[in-house]
Structure 1
């Protein structure tokens, strides 16, 4: 990660407005736990590409790590507004990593309907043969 950071620093020195390099450098800062630096980078990036949902999503993750839940939710909401399909699963996983894993049996999930809510031969009112 340190080599990657050095590479992004060189790239940004030669092209200070490169959105991709700035985003990746912010991601490296985040991965290293350098949240304040990541946030500074992302706020600058937000000025360059104001409609990029992944920037708002990463800002939300940084704020979550910093304990700023309100700001995290605000940025996750903006990310969702910008990319309703792409951001929603990432945001759910940011708040509950278990959502991204298939560790819960669907029949035991609190979000699943109870078995008696499904129509079947035994509870549909139709005779079973």
Structure 2
């Protein structure tokens, strides 16, 4: 659509007229078609900018939705990994506790056996001394 740019500007008195004086009150047709075309062109430019903005926003929204979905999946995977690691930590803690209990039991047994050994050594020493006498 080619735009017609007038060579001569409208006289100031016509430019200063209110829109009601430029439009026929009976049929609504503008007396100054050029003025109406300019107003409509400005509205069209504004609407084109708005449409471009909304087209861009649709693309941005789709991108953001894809990113959100990706982050949601990543979050779920991290959550599953975290639960798995928590279970492994609990298992390792239980094993450590069992091994500590076993270690304490073995230490007590060792202590008891050392006591017995000392007792037996003393008895052996006593018997050796008797035998030597």
Whether these two folds match at TM > 0.5 is no
Q: Which has the higher contact order (CA 8 A, sep 6+)?
A: 1
Larger radius of gyration: 2
TM-score by length of 1: 0.21
Which structure carries more helix by proportion?
A: 2
